[in-house]
Amino acid sequence: MGFQNFLRNVCSKLGENNKPTYAVVAIAAVKGICRPTFTMMDKTEKPETKKYTALREGLTEIIAIPVYLACGYLAGKCSPLITRKVTKDDFLTNQIKQDIANGVQSDKVQKAVQNAEKQLGKYKMRVTNNLRFVGVCAAALVAIPALCSLTIKPVMTKLLKTPKYEEKPETPQVQSTPAYNNSNIRKSFRLNAYQSRPQSGMKVGGV
């Protein structure tokens, strides 16, 4: 019964106001748990590759959750700036406005004023929610990819304690290094060496 009541309350709450951040944060949270778990369960990959990929997937979602919340919250906070000029008069008919100007205090006028106040509240809530959605979209389109590009590479390097890779101009390969000669291993080591396929610094895909 307890769980049923909980579900009923969730349904009521979602029906009244379905904030745009709910879905994206829920998806990011489950992705942050499941994707690294799936990666670690993959028996075909090398342990180093698995560790690297899982960590990167987890980090991407860890970055995404607060960014979604912050962008949604900040965008919603802009609502008073946009709606400051909107008053309850905007929801009154000209007839009612004239009645008010003439000092008429009938039930009809009072009812219209109450209705206008209700509509104004709803209007402001609408703007706030829609702005939150715009914020979440901006997070998905720009903020998260940009932040991932900036932070994931250095964080991964720090966590995995890998030496910084410096790009060198391509030189033609003359001879491959003999298997017994491992003196060049550290020099040619790079973060991407964990990858079996070419990758960019930002892990964005699901595979």
Partner 1 sequence: MIGPITSALTSSGLTNLVQSTSSSVATETVLKAIGRPGFILIDNDISPDTKKYAAAKEFLYQATCLVIYMALVVPVFKKGAFKYAKNHLFKDVPDAGFDKFKDLKTYALYRKLSEKTMEDRQHILNVNKLQDRFSPSIRTELLTKDDPEKFNKIKGSIELGSLIGSVLGLAILAPQVSHAFIHPALRFLGLEKPKEKPHT
Binding site for partner 1 (CB under 8 A): 4, 7-8, 10-16, 18, 20, 22-24, 26-27, 30-31, 34-35, 38, 82-83, 85-86, 90, 115, 123, 126-127, 129-133, 136-137, 140-142, 145-146, 149, 167, 197-202, 204-207
Q: Which two tokens stand for residue 149?
A: 């590009």
Residue 206, number of CB atoms within 10 A of its CB: 8
Q: Least distance from C-beta 183 to partner 1, angstroms?
A: 26
- DSSP conformation letters of 91-116: GS-HHHHHHHHTT---HHHHHHHHHH
Nearer to partner 1 among residue 103 and residue 206 (C-beta): 206
Nearer to partner 1 among residue 20 and residue 52 (C-beta): 20
Nearer to partner 1 among residue 1 and residue 174 (C-beta): 1
Residues 55/160, Cβ–Cβ less than 8 Å:
yes
Q: Least distance from C-beta 68 to partner 1, angstroms?
A: 10
> Which residues are CB-neighbours of 63 under 8 A, at least 6 positions away?
144, 147, 148, 151, 152
Nearer to partner 1 among residue 47 and residue 206 (C-beta): 206
Number of H helices, E strands in the chain: 8, 0
